[in-house]
């Protein structure tokens, strides 16, 4: 049994298999999952687990070089936008929500949270630790 880090076996495997520039999406309960992309569904009830809880756990176990978010988050969900901008010091990229959904097609996995606030989604691009 693992002592530290992500205990969820599906998430741990995805993170272990990432290469440089591969992406993982952390999404709210309503984010569509494109055909062919692995969905890891953590949603239990509305709000549980939260977007922020899952982001923190994944970020503790992943080398992240860039974060992509929908530009609409700035006005539609300022508290989540503030969380992302203060939590991540990595490069941030803003795209429209429609472009965001297109980018999810290339993700290694989408981790679905129980979050029910608008635009609580991010794409984490893998970096390297060396």
Question: Is residue 20 flagged as an active site residue?
Answer: yes
Residue of 7, 9, 20, 92 marked active site: 20
d(C-alpha 128, C-alpha 48), whole Å: 30
Query: Quick one: which H or E segment has residue 83?
Result: helix 78-87
d(C-alpha 80, C-alpha 62), whole Å: 20
119 labelled ligand-binding: yes
d(C-alpha 86, C-alpha 77), whole Å: 14
106 labelled ligand-binding: no
d(C-alpha 85, C-alpha 45), whole Å: 26
Q: Give the pairing type, strands 64-70 and 122-126.
A: antiparallel
8 labelled ligand-binding: no
81 labelled ligand-binding: no
121 labelled ligand-binding: yes
The binding site comprises 28, 97, 119-121
Catalytic residues: 20
């Amino acid at each position: 049994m693992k002592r530290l880090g992500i205990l969820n076996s599906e998430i741990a495997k995805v993170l272990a298999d990432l290469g440089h520039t591969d992406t993982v999406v952390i999404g709210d309960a309503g984010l569509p999952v494109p055909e062919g992309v692995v969905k890891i569904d953590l949603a239990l009830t509305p709000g549980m687990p939260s977007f922020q809880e899952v982001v923190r756990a994944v970020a503790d176990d992943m080398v992240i070089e860039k974060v992509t978010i929908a530009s609409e988050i700035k006005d539609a969900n300022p508290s989540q936008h503030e969380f992302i901008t203060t939590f991540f010091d990595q490069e941030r990229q803003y795209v429209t929500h429609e472009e965001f959904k297109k980018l999810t097609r290339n993700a290694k996995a989408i981790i679905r949270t129980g979050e029910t606030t608008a635009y609580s989604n991010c794409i984490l691009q893998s970096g390297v630790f060396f």
